[in-house]
Amino acid sequence: MPPSATTTPAGTGRVVAVTGACTFLGGELLRRLEEDPKYSRVLALDIRPPALAPGGKVEYVKIDLTQPTVDGELATLLERHQVDTFVHGAFLSHPTHAADWAHELEDVGTMHVLNACAGVAPRRLVMISTSLVYGAHPKNPNFLTEDAELKGHRDSRFVNDKVRAERQVQRFAKEHANVEVCILRFAPILGPTVSNMYTRFFSRPIAPVMMGHDPLMQFVHEQDAAYALVRAVDSRATGAFNIVGKGVLPYTTVLALLGRVPVPMPQFVARQLSKVLWATQLVGSPPSFLDFLLYLCVADGARARRELGFAPRLSIKRTILDFLGVAPEDGATDAAIAQA
């Protein structure tokens, strides 16, 4: 579907509001919308101004989704600027110890956004979610489709807040047929500039391995992810979409490509150690994250390809090497092949 398929009233241009404008995806979206003549105005909503210098089209509005009456503020804003597309991306990219605040922001913040959208309906609502909402479970099939149940995680508030937010949005979509609701579930994003739980985890020289377990992993390159978001804003597709990269690799191969030293440990040791390290705030990944090193959580991107017209460009290997900042010619594997 070419971008021109979207309906734009001649002369006016679309108005887009973006919450979480300072997140990686939010910033990339602003940058790309600014280049696109189809959009006449972009509202960047966050608690601090986005890094991008506003160049006329982008207008920063301070919005704190944890404030109790922010829904009214948002509704006024939507009304005044005649917002056409609302992008809700105010979600945390890494777990935090301030779990109550995170809950207010992600779960309750989504409620505020939906309240505003119920009052002043935009044409389109795009929500940024993650494929972690499926959770890593021993019974997961190799490829989770969008219809799979959102099991979340037994004791991860980081994941469960997102699951709750997504359920609210799904309910909203059912009740408000006049709004096109699109949910994007991104696989973990890797790349040279993005910062999230996975990039922090892989930045350490050593990484824990659950002894005797080696699940397949999946990532999406930051540029592919940003492009998918633009597609979602552009297109008229509705429903949930998995946004994933090309290919999968076993966890230990990912570590080998990254040159990280795997530290195999029995499960109970890993869990105790992880609890201590998390409680003392020495690492950024909570104990529940270990399940993602035990079981599969890989999503199927076929629906996004079919209905959203998004296909990833970069393979998982290239994504990993780009995260490292290594040119493909200089890959470790080439050396390995030469030696073999």
List interacting residues with other proteins (CB under 8 A): 1-4, 31, 35, 138-139, 141-143, 145, 192-193, 195, 199, 202-203, 205, 211-214, 216, 223, 227, 231, 247-250, 252-253, 255-259, 261-262, 309-311, 313-315, 317-318, 322-328, 330-333, 335-336, 339-340
141: Cβ–Cβ under 8 A, 6 or more apart, which residues?
148
Q: The tokens of 147 are what?
A: 């219809």
* Cβ nearer to other proteins, comparing 72 with 331: 331
Q: Find the shortest distance in angstroms from Cβ 284 to other proteins.
A: 12
The string over 87-107, giving b where at least 16 C-beta atoms fall within 10 Å of a residue's C-beta and e elsewhere, is bbbbbbbebeeeeeebbbbbb
Q: Find the shortest distance in angstroms from Cβ 134 to other proteins.
A: 13
Q: Find the shortest distance in angstroms from Cβ 53 to other proteins.
A: 11
Nearest-CA neighbor of 135 among 179, 91, 185, 80? 185
Dist CA 303 CA 305 (whole Å): 5
Q: Are 224 and 218 in contact (CB under 8 A)?
A: no
* Cβ nearer to other proteins, comparing 79 with 330: 330
Q: Find the shortest distance in angstroms from Cβ 328 to other proteins.
A: 6
Main-chain phi, psi angles of 177, to 5 degrees: -70, -20
Residue 276: helix, strand or coil by DSSP? helix
Dist CA 267 CA 28 (whole Å): 39
Looking up tokens 């799904």, which residue turns up?
A: 170
* Cβ nearer to other proteins, comparing 4 with 178: 4
Q: Find the shortest distance in angstroms from Cβ 258 to other proteins.
A: 8
Strands 180-186 and 124-130: parallel
Q: Are 179 and 124 in contact (CB under 8 A)?
A: yes
* Cβ nearer to other proteins, comparing 140 with 160: 140
* Cβ nearer to other proteins, comparing 35 with 178: 35
Sign of CA dihedral 211, 151, 26, 59: negative
Nearest-CA neighbor of 127 among 77, 186, 41? 186
Distances (CA, A) of 90 to 18, 44, 133: 9, 11, 16
* Cβ nearer to other proteins, comparing 3 with 155: 3
Q: Find the shortest distance in angstroms from Cβ 306 to other proteins.
A: 10
Beta strands in 92-228, from DSSP E residues, in sequence order: 124-130, 180-186, 189-190, 206-210, 216-217, 220-221
Q: Find the shortest distance in angstroms from Cβ 157 to other proteins.
A: 24
* Cβ nearer to other proteins, comparing 61 with 326: 326
* Cβ nearer to other proteins, comparing 276 with 336: 336
Q: Find the shortest distance in angstroms from Cβ 90 to other proteins.
A: 19
* Cβ nearer to other proteins, comparing 179 with 321: 321
Q: Find the shortest distance in angstroms from Cβ 205 to other proteins.
A: 5
**Residues, the chain, total?**
340
Return the amino acid letter for 283.
V
